[in-house]
Amino acid sequence: MPFSAADDILAALPVRQREWLELVLSDWQLVADLAFADLLLWAPDHDSNSQETVRLVPIAQARPSTTQSLFQGEPSREDFDRTVLNLISSSWHNQKSHRTFQRVEPGSGIQVEAVPIMHEGQPMGVMTMHLDLAGNRLPSKLEMIYRQTATDLMLMAAQGLWPSEQPHASDTRMQPRVGDGLVRLNVAGEIDYASPNGVSAFRRIGQDDGVVGRKLSDIFSGLRGGGLPSVGLESHVLAGTISDRIEIEHRGVTLMVRSLPLWNENKRLGAIVLVRDISELRRRELQLVSKDATIREIHHRVKNNLQTVAALLRMQSRRMNSEEARKGLEEAMRRVETIAQVHHSLSQGLSQTVDFDELMTRQFRMAVEVATQNQKVRALKAGTFGHLDSEKATPLALVITELAANAVEHGLGKNDGTVKLTAKHSTTEDGRVLEVMVSDDGCGLPEDFETDTGLGLQIVRTLVKSELQGKISWQNREGGGTKVLVTVPVKSRPASA
């Protein structure tokens, strides 16, 4: 958990140092859980001018999930006495591990261990482990093995061997945790210890016999009824020779297996292997994929059905003798086609949002062209709508289409001119709003203008107020013409222009 000042401090560090400390932050929860202790990461303050005057400050904390944390808030330098601060400074300058005891009250204490985080022979920072020694009880075998493993990893950090720079090492999605199941392997790849949760994970895939003393590769190959290849990612992960992770599926159970080799200088000590049952996660992913595919198919079918309705209306309008009836059918056809285009956009992706700029770039020009008779009308678009929720996209698309058609038919009449669509996001006291303006350079509003006359304007006013929970106003435009301003509250942020 980075502290509030961490970003500023990290930003002031050299790029390679910052990247290495970020690698530590991506994986050090593992060490905190194994150590049953809080970890603090200390980095040089950006105000320091030289190695001799470097001032280390805590920038992040890892709270153990295996025990309670010792710190209530964000610790600072002022929360530690001179003994601990000297310990940290010495660890940075001497590049060695140090341990001390900080007395907190009579009869109890906190063990503080400081380890330099090294990379390419240079100190990147210091990691301190804060272990509560209160209680003085004899630790269990699990605790002893966990703490020894934590010590091994901290010594690797002091030797520049941890964290790993393998491609998947910093990817924390679904990363196995210590509490999911832990196995410790020796140099030969044999299991020296398996935690109770680790044993349970093996039992779920059908391994009911004991696992201690056996190789992981032999266990999995036995379950499958055949051997594993001697080379390849799967074999190396199960042998604990590389830092990576794989997924193994058997009997409908999917296990994520992550290996982390343990080293002491040039000598390999073995490895730890974390095991997590992700069967339920995989099942949910399949359900979501199926659901998304169904939703896309529904939108696609709705779009096709609406386009069929629009085609039927077009055919019917051609058979009408009454000009008024023909025009009414054409307007209905245009509205149905607008709704169909929104469903077409929704059928293209997994999200329930619409790229409204892409939709309106096409639909606005189409609405202007359909409404144009024999005059020349330019359709211009400015500003950015961004991605809008589908429940906003459909009524807003209808509103803009109606206003565009109205601007051509009534604003310009039979004259040439320009119809412009402008979009702008802004923030008000009530939150984020989208301001949409449709304007023309026609004759302007008549003196007896009424918004509740005409089916198109009635539809617009109803959609804005009831569906969009917005506001709409008609005004004369400076220089001649009309502008209609629609203000709609939105949750989404505008896309970059």
Nearest-10 crossing angle of helices 323-346, 390-406: 150
pLDDT of residue 96: 82
Taking CA atoms, 13 is separated from 23, 118, 169, in Å, by 14, 15, 22
Residue 118 has pLDDT above 90, yes or no: yes
Going by pLDDT thresholds of 50, 70 and 90, the confidence category of residue 374 is confident
pLDDT of residue 309: 74
Residue 163 has pLDDT above 60, yes or no: yes
Please give the distance of CA 126 from its chain centroid, rounded to a whole number: 29
pLDDT digits (tens, 9 = 90+) for 1-18: 788 788 889 888 999 999
> What's the CA gap between 154 and 115, in Å, rounded?
7
Residue 377 has pLDDT above 80, yes or no: yes
pLDDT of residue 344: 66
- Cβ 412 vs Cβ 464: under 8 Å: no
pLDDT of residue 304: 72
Please provide the CATH number assigned to the domain covering 178-277: 3.30.450.20
What's the burial of 284, exposed, middle or buried (CB within 10 Å: 0-12/13-18/19+)?
Answer: exposed
Residue 346 has pLDDT above 70, yes or no: no
**What percent of the chain shows pLDDT beyond 70?**
83
Joined together, the tokens standing for residue 122 give 């240079």
pLDDT digits (tens, 9 = 90+) for 125-159: 999 999 988 755 678 899 999 999 999 999 999 99
Average pLDDT over residues 272-278: 93
Average pLDDT over residues 372-381: 85
The mean pLDDT value of the chain amounts to 82
Residue 230 has pLDDT above 60, yes or no: no
- Which residues is 271 bridged to in the sheet? 185, 261
pLDDT of residue 72: 85
pLDDT of residue 320: 76
Pick the range with the lowest mean pLDDT from 23-27, 85-89, 235-239, 407-411.
407-411
Going by pLDDT thresholds of 50, 70 and 90, the confidence category of residue 189 is very high
pLDDT digits (tens, 9 = 90+) for 17-69: 999 999 999 999 999 999 999 999 999 986 654 455 689 999 999 999 999 99
Average pLDDT over residues 174-202: 92
Q: Are strands 482-489 and 191-194 parallel, antiparallel or unpaired?
A: unpaired
**What percent of the chain shows pLDDT beyond 90?**
36
Q: Among the ranges 305-314, 366-375, 411-420, which has the highest mean pLDDT value?
A: 411-420
Q: Which residue has the higher pLDDT, 413 or 182?
A: 182
> What's the CA gap between 366 and 392, in Å, rounded?
20
pLDDT of residue 434: 92
**Where does the chain hold its CATH 3.30.565.10 domain(s)?**
282-489
Pick the range with the lowest mean pLDDT from 58-72, 332-346, 433-447, 463-477.
332-346
pLDDT of residue 202: 87
> What's the CA gap between 330 and 317, in Å, rounded?
7
CATH of 6-158, one of 2.40.30.10, 3.40.50.300, 3.40.50.920, 3.30.450.280: 3.30.450.280
pLDDT of residue 496: 43
Pick the range with the lowest mean pLDDT from 54-68, 262-276, 428-442, 454-468.
454-468
What's the burial of 374, exposed, middle or buried (CB within 10 Å: 0-12/13-18/19+)?
Answer: exposed
Residue 401 has pLDDT above 60, yes or no: yes
**Where does the chain hold its CATH 3.30.450.20 domain(s)?**
178-277
Going by pLDDT thresholds of 50, 70 and 90, the confidence category of residue 365 is confident
pLDDT of residue 229: 47
**Where does the chain hold its CATH 3.30.450.280 domain(s)?**
6-158
Please give the CATH architecture assigned to the domain spanning 282-489: 2-Layer Sandwich (3.30)
Average pLDDT over residues 203-208: 83
pLDDT of residue 389: 82
Joined together, the tokens standing for residue 30 give 């593992």
**Strand, helix or coil at 465?**
helix
Residue 452 has pLDDT above 50, yes or no: yes
- Cβ 403 vs Cβ 460: under 8 Å: yes
> What's the CA gap between 387 and 295, in Å, rounded?
18
pLDDT of residue 282: 79
> What's the CA gap between 451 and 392, in Å, rounded?
22
pLDDT of residue 348: 61
